[in-house]
Every structure is written in structure tokens, then in C-alpha cells.
A and B are shown apart, each in its own frame.
Chain A
Amino acid sequence: MKVTLAVAAVFAAAALSPPCACAYLDPGTGSYVVQVVIAALVGGGFALKIFWKRISDALRRLFSRGDTDDTGRK
């Protein structure tokens, strides 16, 4: 289902083209279109991932108070 959606979305979006990227590299019209489509497809999963990470981080902080890195980075 996801794959079918992706194919359909790319086909639909392929009629569009990006505005001037004002970049020294040619970003490529197809590459512009496909990244917008992919980002839309993975956005939901990413939101869940962030949500779950926040919960697990909060739980970890709760159970190992004082041991965490306050920068949040490894």
C-alpha cells in the first residue's frame, strides 16, 4: 500500500518543478520532487519515532536520576 502510494505520488508530482534553488549545484527537478514526496511518506513514522524517543528519554531520566548527560548528546 505504501509502495503504491509512493509510486502514485511521484507520478503526480513529476509534473511539477521546483522554483529557482539559487544554489551553485543543480539540485535536479526530479530530486526536488522525490524528496518532497518521500518526506511526506516518512513524516508520520518520524513523528512517532520522536514521540517514542521523548517518552523513553523521560523514563530513563526518571529511573536513572543524575546519570544523564544534560546536553542530550552522546
Chain B
Amino acid sequence: MTRVENSARVPGSFRDPSGFLFRREGILYRRINPAYRAHYDRLMGSGLYDDLVQAGLLIPHREAAIPGEAAPPGCVFIQPEVVPFISYPYEWCFSQLRDAALATLEIQRRALDRGMTLKDSSAFNIQFVRGKPALIDTLSFEEYREGAPWVAYRQFCQHFLAPLALMSRTDVRLGQLSRIFLDGVPMDLASALLPRSTRLRFSLLTHIHLHARAQKMCARSEGKARAGTLSRFSFLALVDSLRTAVGRLRREPGGTEWGEYYDATNYSAESLAHKKRLVGEFLDILRPRSVWDMGANTGMFSRIAGGKGIPTVAMDGDPSAVEMNYRQCRNENEERILPLLIDLTNPSPAVGWAHEERMSLAERGPADAVMALALVHHLAISNNTPLPDIARFLSRLGNSLIIEFVPKGDSNARRLLSTREDIFPDYAEGPFEAAFGGHFAVEKRSPVPGTERTLYLMRKR
């Protein structure tokens, strides 16, 4: 047995016999097995690889030699570009999933032009790189055989079309189904959850409702006859039809509780400007290599970090805020900011086979710096989380912290308490500093002028 077979295989990389990802001395490699070699050579030789990499639709790689270790006969080692932050479809807003779907279909169209096809179309194979969706699985291609239908059609519908249709036509929160159904939303479930009016739209009628019906009928029939074939032209027509289906789905972010937060904020323009300046100064002191902005809303403060060239993940639990943030990133080509839908009171867990296929949020850290601005009162008051617990969790997520304390006297905190009993005698600046002092050393402490709030710069002890 070779060292590679014994080495740390990336836990989610086990389904495809074409190869697998592994790490050696902290470097990520992909091994290409002999059985896949012909397809890989076709990818590289047909011009498809260059075409997709140039278009930003596929992450680049280089063939690599591992010092002191020969590749097994017929195998190739490649070293793919490292994606700074791995995100998952259940952490994407509607437009992110839609853009990822359209990117997948564009890749398939270009692959067909070069005599290849996608043999899988998992949404987990797409990552946001420099703000745009790109395929990270170099082994997703195989040679196209004339007449063969698309083996990944069902996966595309389950991973992309069904959740998008549900988010668009039923409820945007149904995007979270992807967290439960890792192989995509079952077609029968999507069909049952979609309103009847979707049967009047040809693309949804066929790709979802009839698809679900056909699956059910074929499951019963245990068919033994021969299937029809799909010519290359028909294949392209199918891909075009899916592109139309996805392209016509829309979802406009509605105003939600905190979606209009910055408009409804309780401090003046001067206070806001001062807070921004303080955040910028604290970032200049820390000079972090990565920032996680927790409770980022539409990303106003994430942009300060992004503007300094720091890769920044802007997390919020409000789908409308994340949607608006992503659209701004897309419109303004903000490559450094990755908006994600993450509720800090229930952050993404480790899921999948052996709890290892998809990482929890904490496993993807720690970030160099965590920003928690106007967040602690939500966790402490709305979610009843004790301050020491908040401090402990944030110390797992980041090596340093820019955090704002919002006292009970602040109108936003008062709003949270207006409909409930105040059971938080320890929610005050003293206990806050004591709780965080157990994990962090306070380096700076600055009041935000014109407010009762205080901004802290802390480093992990």
C-alpha cells in the first residue's frame, strides 16, 4: 500500500472512483486514478481546461510531484488552486445558488462543444472564488458518447433546480432543505411543496413535476426494456431548457426585521462614520489575513475589511440581507467578500457520512479576526446565551476580535426587551468584560460617540 493510500484523504472525497483529494505537509493534492486517466487527458488536450479556466469557471491546477514519493503506476498528482473559504449550498442566498446553477450549465455547454460532458453536477462542487462561482472538481468531466443522456441530470435538478424553485415560488427558507438532503432535494418532495401554479410553467411542469412522476412510475416498473437515446443536439436543447428554467426563477429580497437595519439604526450619521473609522483603525492594528464578520447584515463593515484587501466572509442569518450583500458584491465586482447565510445561534454543523463530509463552521476556522458588531445583544437577549458562552464560542472562531457592546439602555437592546421579561441582570459592560477577559486580552476600548456603545479590540490569550 502506498503512502497516499494511507495519507489523510479529505473526508468528503470518497464517492468518485476517478480519484480523491488528500493533504501532504499541509498542501492539498488530488490523485487521478488510472481508470480516469483518458478522460483527464481529454480534458487537458481538448482545450476545454484552458477555456474553462480562462472564463473563471474551473479552478486551475498544476501537475505536481510530491517530494520523495512517486505516483502509483498510471496515476497523476495534481495540485489545485486552494479556495480560501469552503462554503456550502445551504449557506448561499438565492442568487448565489442561481449563479452556481447557471455556471454549471455553462460548463456543460462548453464541455459538449469539446466532446466532453459533466458526469456529476453536485452543488458542492461549486465554490465562490474571487466572488464568482467556479467548479472545483477537475474530475467531473468524461468523454461524451453520442446518444448518451446526461447522467447528472437528476443531480442537477435535485441540487439546483428544485431548491431554487422552492426558494422562488414557495419560501426562501426552504433553501435549508439542502442541509438535510445532501444529495439534493428529492423530486417528489419538491413537487409536493411547490404551489399548483408552478404546473402552469412548462419548465417547472416538466423538469420537476413530470420528473417526480416519472421517477415514481419507473421505481414501480423495474423496467426491462431499452431506453431512448439523446442526440447531441437534443442534449444541448435539454441544457438550454434547464438554463431557461433557472434563468426565469426570481426572488426579490423583502424587508425583514433587520434587512433595513442601517436605515433604521438608532445612531446618527456622525456616529456611524466614527464607528466605521474605528473598525478601520482596529483592522489596521490587527492586519488580519482573514476576517469573519458575524451578523454582517448587508455587509457595510465587511466592506471596510474587503476594501483593505482582506478576504472577508460576511455571515448573517437573514436571507434578505445576504441576498442584498451578494448582489452588491456581484454588481461591484467585490472579489474579497463572500456573503453567507449563517445563523450564529445555529451555525452549520458537520454533516454527511461519519459527520465528516461537510465541515462545521468552526472546523473551517479559526479566522484571523472575527468582527461581532451589534451582535452580542442579539445572542445574549434574543437567544438567552450567557456572555461566557458567547465569549468561549467566539474564541474558537477567531484569533482576535473586534466586538461591540450594546448596553440595555440602547434603543435596539430596549426593543429586544420590550416584549419580554428582563431576565438578564448580568447583561452589562462589567460582566461582558469579565466574560471575554477569560479568553481575550483587551487591547483597545473605544466608546462610539453619540451612542452608549463601546467598541473593543481583543486578542486571544
Query: Could you tell me which A residues sit within 8 Å of B by CB distance?
Result: 2-3, 6-7, 10-11, 13-19, 21, 23-25, 27-43, 45-47, 49, 73
Contact = CB atoms under 8 A, between A and B. Distances in A.
Contact of A14 (B15, B154, B214, B236): B214
Nearest to A11: B217
Interface string B217-252: 111011111111110011111101100000000000
B238 A10 contact: no
The 7 closest A-B pairs by CB, nearest first: A17-B223, A30-B215, A31-B154, A46-B237, A30-B214, A39-B234, A30-B218
Contacts of A45: 237
Interface residues of B, number: 47
Given A24-B17, A30-B218, 14 more contacts: A10-B213, A14-B221, A17-B223, A29-B215, A29-B219, A34-B211, A35-B149, A39-B234, A39-B238, A41-B206, A45-B237, A46-B237, A46-B241, A73-B55
Given A18-B149, A46-B236, A31 B227 contact: no
B202 A3 contact: yes
A43 B240 CA distance: 10
A55 B421 CA distance: 70
Contacts of B213: 10, 30
Contacts of A23: 119, 151
Nearest to A34: B214
Interface of B: 15-18, 55, 119-120, 148-155, 157, 202, 205-207, 210-211, 213-219, 221-230, 233-238, 240-241
A41 to B, nearest CB: 7
B206 A30 contact: no
B238 A30 contact: no
A29 to B, nearest CB: 4
Contacts of B16: 24
B223 A16 contact: yes
14 contacts: A6-B205, A14-B214, A17-B222, A17-B223, A17-B227, A24-B18, A31-B154, A33-B218, A34-B206, A34-B215, A36-B227, A37-B214, A43-B234, A49-B240
A11 to B, nearest CB: 7
Main secondary structure of the interface of B (DSSP, over half): helix
Nearest to B235: A39
A40 B222 CA distance: 23
Contact of B241 (A2, A18, A38): A38
A10 B214 contact: yes
A48 to B, nearest CB: 11
Contacts of A39: 230, 234-235, 237-238, 241
Contacts of A36: 149, 227-230, 234
